Structure 1
Amino acid sequence: MSSVLSVNVGSPSPRSAKPTPTGIIKVPVPQIEVADPGPKRRAADGSGVSGVAGDFIGSGRHHGGADQAVYAVAREELDHWGRELDRDLPDGMFGENITTTGLDVDASTYGDVWTVGSAVLRVSAPRVPCANFAARMGERGWVRRFAARGRAGTYLAVVEPGVIRPGDAIAVARSGSGLLVPSLLAAWMGDLDEMRSALTHDDLDDESRGHFMRALARRG
Structure 2
Amino acid sequence: MGKGDQGRLYAVNVVHEIRPGAGRQTAIDKRPATGRIEVGTLGLSGDTQCDRRYHGGPDKALYAYATEDAAWWAKRLDRDIPPGLFGENLTTEGIDCTHALLGERWRLGADVVVEVRMPRSPCDNLSLRMGIPAFHKEFSASRRVGAYLAVLTTGSVAAGDLVTIEHRPTHEVTVANWVGRRNPEHARRLLDSGEDLAPDVRRTALRLVRKRS
TM-score normalised per structure 2:
0.84
Q: 1:218 to 1:131 in 2, by over 3 A?
A: farther
Match for 1:155: what amino acid?
Answer: Y
- CA positional deviation for 1:144: 2.2
- CA positional deviation for 1:90: 0.8
Deviations 1:47-86 (A, max 9, x none): xxxx111211011000111111111111111111011111
2:133 equivalent to 1:129: no
Contact persistence 1:12–1:21 (CA under 8 A): no
What pairs with 1:143-162 in structure 2 (closer than 5 Å)? 143-162=136-155
User: Matched residues in 1 for 2:57 and 2:185: separation?
Assistant: 24
Partner in structure 2 of residue 3 of structure 1: 8
Contact persistence 1:26–1:95 (CA under 8 A): yes
User: Matched residues in 2 for 1:159 and 1:132: separation?
Assistant: 28
Q: 1:148 to 1:64 in 2, by over 3 A?
A: same
2:28 equivalent to 1:35: no
Structure 1: gaps (5+ residues): 38-50
Aligned pairs, number: 203
Partner in structure 2 of residue 179 of structure 1: 173
How much is the aligned-residue C-alpha RMSD, in angstroms? 2.3
User: Matched residues in 2 for 1:165 and 1:191: separation?
Assistant: 35
Structure 2: gaps (5+ residues): 1-5
- Out of 150, 163, 182, the position equivalent to 1:191 is 182
User: Matched residues in 2 for 1:163 and 1:199: separation?
Assistant: 33
Partner in structure 1 of residue 91 of structure 2: 99
Q: Taking CA–CA contacts closer than 8 Å with sequence separation of 6 or more, which of the two structures ends up with the larger relative contact order?
A: 2
2:77 equivalent to 1:85: yes
User: Matched residues in 2 for 1:174 and 1:12: separation?
Assistant: 35
Q: 1:15 to 1:216 in 2, by over 3 A?
A: farther
Over the matched positions of the two proteins, sequence identity in percent amounts to: 35
